[in-house]
């Protein structure tokens, strides 16, 4: 938990998160309660960043956390590729829906 707290604080400060130290420490220490640290950190990122770049930088860090929690070390290795694939798939499905006759009628 201590290593995760240091890692998250450092990664969030690199992403220019204003309150990186307390959020990083809390997120790392709250790992023993599944999804509490993840949800809190992501909610605070949504509150701070007004643009998608900042939120994207934080979402990458939390994607690593979530996949690591769910699938262990193997999940950390696959977190970014799977997240990117899911992001593109959701974007394409949304675009297809917006262009469909079901939506337009």
Please state the domain count of the chain.
Answer: 1
Is the torsion defined by CA of 70, 72, 74, 79 positive or negative?
positive
Q: How many CB atoms lie within 10 A of CB 90?
A: 10
Note the pTM of the prediction, 2 decimals: 0.48
Rounded distance, CA 35 to CA 54, Å? 21
Domain residues for the domain of 90 are 2-104
Residue identified by tokens 């790392």 is: 28
Tokens at 35, concatenated: 């999804």
Digits of tens for pLDDT over the chain (105 positions)? 888 888 888 888 887 778 888 888 888 888 777 677 777 777 777 777 666 666 676 777 778 878 888 888 888 888 888 888 888 898 899 999 999 988 887
């Amino acid at each position: 938990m201590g290593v995760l707290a240091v890692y998250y604080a450092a990664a969030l400060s690199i992403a220019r998160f204003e309150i990186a130290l307390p959020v990083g420490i809390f997120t790392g220490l709250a790992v023993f309660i599944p999804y509490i640290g993840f949800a809190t950190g992501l909610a605070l990122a949504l509150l701070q960043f007004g643009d998608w770049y900042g939120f994207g930088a934080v979402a990458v860090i939390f994607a690593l956390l979530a996949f690591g929690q769910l699938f262990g070390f193997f999940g950390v290795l696959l977190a970014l590729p799977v997240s990117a694939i899911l992001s593109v798939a959701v974007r394409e499905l949304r675009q297809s829906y917006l262009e469909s006759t079901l939506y337009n009628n």
